[in-house]
Amino acid sequence: MGRWEPNARARLERAALELYTERGFDQTTVADIAERAGLTKRTFFRYFADKREVLFWGQGALQDAYIGAVADAPADATPMQLISCALAAAGAVVEERHELARQRQAVIAANPQLQERELLKRATLATALADALRERGVADPAASLAAETAIAVFKVAFARWIEASDDQRFSELIHESLGQLRSVAADA
């Protein structure tokens, strides 16, 4: 085994998803993942705190995308426009990972503990987004409602995307889901 090889994080992620799919999450060890990737356990722990984090490591990039998009939006943007910008930025983060996203979601769906972790991660994202909206001057409860709405729209669009054909773009599904939200809110 070489001392360093390129794309270690991606190789570990692919190996983990393959093993989680083949054996199940609980039956897969860090040693199994490292061996499948042709790396050491020590290398695994350079990238991931534990085997669950292989599934959730991208939260930081999503959070940065949400917050950055809110901060960079035009000064006169409404709360709905701010979450639209945030969703577009977050969608760009996951757009190129369609097959990995499908595998990841299947593993999470098969494990209640991972579902709980996913809910916690979404709650953390909603809190960070609400804070970013407040920094832009959006008062509560509007900031909290907008942030929770953004997470719900992302969740619905994501679920549709992982079930969609490979040519369906995530950004289109986010746009459609926002349109549906506007339609539902107009009926209220």
Per-residue pLDDT tens over the stretch 95-141: 878 888 889 999 999 999 999 999 999 999 999 999 999 999 999 99
Let me know: does 75 contact 155? Beta carbons within 8 Å. no
Is the confidence at residue 151, as pLDDT, over 70? yes
CB atoms within 10 A of CB 28: 22
Q: Is residue 19 pLDDT above 50, yes or no?
A: yes
Q: Would you state the structure tokens that stand for residue 178, as one six-digit string? A: 């926002």
Residues contacting residue 90 through CB under 8 Å, at least 6 positions apart: 62, 65, 66, 69, 154
pLDDT of residue 4: 55
Domain with CATH 1.10.357.10 in the chain: 58-186
Q: Which of 48-62, 124-138, 141-155, 161-175 has the lowest mean pLDDT?
A: 161-175
65-86 residue pLDDT tens: 999 999 999 999 999 999 999 9
User: Residues spanned by CATH 1.10.10.60 within the chain?
Assistant: 8-54
**Are 126 and 147 a contacting pair, CB within 8 Å?**
yes
Task: Give mean pLDDT, residues 23-45.
Answer: 96
| pLDDT value of position 130 | 97
Sign of CA dihedral 72, 76, 79, 80: negative
Asked if the model's pLDDT at residue 2 lies above 90, the reply is no
| Phi/psi of residue 127, nearest 5 degrees | -65, -45
Q: Which of 39-53, 101-115, 128-142, 163-177 has the lowest mean pLDDT?
A: 163-177
CATH architecture of residue range(s) 8-54 = Orthogonal Bundle (1.10)
Q: Which CATH superfamily is domain 58-186 in?
A: Tetracycline Repressor, domain 2 (1.10.357.10)
Contact present, 127 and 147 (Cβ < 8 Å): yes
165: confidence class by pLDDT, cuts 50, 70, 90: confident
Q: Is pLDDT above 80 for 152?
A: yes
pLDDT at 49 over 60: yes
Confidence at residue 5, expressed as pLDDT on a 0 to 100 scale: 61
